Structure 1
Amino acid sequence: MGRHGLDRAPPRARGPEGAGAPAPGGGTGRAKAVALIAAGAVLVAAIVTGALVLGDDGDGAETRTAPTSAPPAPNGPSATTPEASPSPSTSEPSADDPAVVEDQLNGVTFPLLDGWVRPQYVAQDDVVMTTDGTYDCPGGVGLCRHGLVFSRTVTENDEKSPEALAKADIKNAADEAYDRDTLGRELYGGIESHQQVESGPVAVAGRAGYLVRWRVRTAKGPGGYVQSLVFPSSVGTESPVLVRYVFDAGEDGPPLADMDRITKGIRPFGDADTGGGVGSSIGPPD
């Protein structure tokens, strides 16, 4: 009697590979087939494992057996690449004639002389051109420009005489340029004195106008020149047009003759040849 009191059958003989004896009915071929399938499965698993372990072939190419769960790459360039960084904007060439500045309201153009530019970052209204660049004001506050030209329509009163309007405006032109600005600051330490250096009729864009020019001396800095020029507009109701000139004196200021060059170069829209007339030739003051 065997263990637990039960008789056991004698053990069956084992094959040479140690596999169990074949089942009744001649299952030897079937057993071999099963063994081959099992061996093939082991071989496939080994190949897959090797592919995963050796996925990087050293040349940067990566072999993957299935899609990864990593997020897709962004559609555009990375924010850290140079292409994604904003580049300085380049202004497009102006469609306007680079040699003139337009005052569309009053229907005239101004010549843009050497050293003069279209206004940029200018706080004052009605500026049509400035000298290039700024400097620290002599009064120790703010930034100043060596030259400005303004153009506006006179609407404050019914006066139509260019002479009367120019004479009435010149003091305001001096005060606003060299006494106190709109914030009440004395950019030049205030005006100490003024002297009239030029006045008289002048032809502007084929119209009879009038100008008055002052030399202004300030407490700080070299002072400057202001000029009020008035002429009838060539459009609409022909309202008077007031052009103010503000030129710093001294070697850093624009040439005083530029006042006359700009005045002679004012033209109506579409008429580049208009000009000349009584008083059109005005030499620089002594």
Structure 2
Amino acid sequence: MTPPAGWYRDPSAPHLERWWDGTAWSEHRRSPETVPLPLVVPAARRPARARAVALAAAGSVLAAAIVTGAVLLHDGGGGGDRGDGVTRTAPGGPAATDTATAPAPAAPAAPPDSSGPSDASVVVDQLNGITLPLPTGWEAPRDISQDDVVMTTHGVYDCPAGRGLCRHGLVSTLTPASSDGARPESLARNDIADAADAAYGRNAAGDTPYDGITAHQDVAAGPVAVAGRAGYFVRRRVRTAKGPGGYVESLAFSSSTGVEAPVVVRFVLDAGPDGPPLADIDRITKGIRPIGATGADGGVGSSIGPSSD
């Protein structure tokens, strides 16, 4: 379901109207004969721990917001939760072939503003105020029940213990429920055991897709700058009863938005030839930015800004 074709206020030039062909913005624009209707799409409501994660693209249209607008048009209001915590975007489609006679709807459920990150290889965590890069082989999550997951590797495989489907890589973001002013080092060290157990021990559904953890070893730890903030990471090698096991990392730092609440990013990468390279953890960490920051802001090796830790 998409909004009907028609003239709407141009997100990039509000003094003009732009033709929406029913699936995407066209390149047709005109001066409005009357004051154009604003583009209004209400925000969807999500569970407390859900993340609003957007896969952004240049000149994109948010698909989830389009669905919400269509519900408003046909059902008279509401809005709803997709269930996977993801808002995706799609690039603009071909131009409409006939724009001169197309009528403007009286009460349009218009596509959203196309502003925001223009890099198609970036996901947005609105709750924590950060963006994360998508390396090659990774994508925004789809068909996954974990609200905190912000990206996964492509595809799934049968879990080694024969129960359910597994993925070779996951990245999730968490806001600690109670940090009490804890430093990033404490947060990362306290989180790593839970992160490892959730990934390779007993999952949220109570299953053991790898028949449990048999051994583990912390292979790296230390301070790091993340999005211009002081952070700390702990990386653990996990061995499992079945399958090659993998690597789990807990990365903690303070958000640069709001009250600067702490953020924990969890990385889960399968070991063995089918798992993604460990270097992807560093690539993602280096590319974390505050929402709205330029490409040079933040990241590993940048100056560390003031922090509450």
Q: Same fold (TM over 0.5)?
A: yes
Q: 1:151–1:241: 8 Å Cα contact kept in structure 2? A: yes
5 Å matches for 1:222-237?
222-237=244-259
- Structure 2 counterpart SS, 1:242: strand
User: Is 1:275–2:294 an aligned residue pair?
Assistant: no
For the pair shown, the structure with the greater C-alpha radius of gyration is 1
Would you identify which runs of 4 or more consecutive aligned residues in structure 1 move more than 4 Å?
A: 276-280
User: Is 1:166–2:188 an aligned residue pair?
Assistant: yes
5 Å matches for 1:36-51?
none
AA aligned opposite 1:197: V
AA aligned opposite 1:274: D
CA distance in 2 between counterparts of 1:233 and 1:268 reads 8
Pick one of 89, 104, 112 that aligns with 2:134.
112
**Distance change (3 Å), C-alpha of 1:218 and 1:107:** same
**Deviation string for 1:161-193 (max 9, x for gaps)?**
000000000000000000011121110010000
- Structure 2 counterpart SS, 1:225: strand
User: Is 1:93–2:91 an aligned residue pair?
Assistant: yes
Superposition TM-score, scaled by structure 1 size: 0.64
Q: Greater strand percent: which structure? A: 2
Q: 2:286–2:300: 8 Å Cα contact kept in structure 1? A: no
- In structure 2, the gaps of 5 or more residues are 1-88, 93-113, 304-309
CA distance in 1 between counterparts of 2:216 and 2:149 reads 23
Q: 1:222–1:250: 8 Å Cα contact kept in structure 2? A: yes
Aligned to 1:23: none
Give the total of aligned pairs.
190
Superposition TM-score, scaled by structure 2 size: 0.59
How far did 1:155 drift? 2.3
AA aligned opposite 1:267: R
**Deviation string for 1:46-76 (max 9, x for gaps)?**
xxxxxxxxxxxxxxxxxxxxxxxxxxxxxxx
- Structure 2 counterpart SS, 1:155: coil
Q: 1:200–1:211: 8 Å Cα contact kept in structure 2? A: yes
CA distance in 2 between counterparts of 1:255 and 1:121 reads 24
5 Å matches for 1:77-92?
92=90
AA aligned opposite 1:166: A
Work out the percentage of aligned pairs sharing the same amino acid: 62
CA distance in 1 between counterparts of 2:189 and 2:90 reads 42
Q: Greater helix percent: which structure? A: 1
- In structure 1, the gaps of 5 or more residues are 1-90, 281-286
- Structure 2 counterpart SS, 1:193: strand
Aligned to 1:20: none
User: Is 1:153–2:151 an aligned residue pair?
Assistant: no
CA distance in 2 between counterparts of 1:163 and 1:157 reads 12
- Structure 2 counterpart SS, 1:187: coil
- Structure 1 counterpart SS, 2:256: coil
- Structure 2 counterpart SS, 1:214: strand
Aligned to 2:226: 204
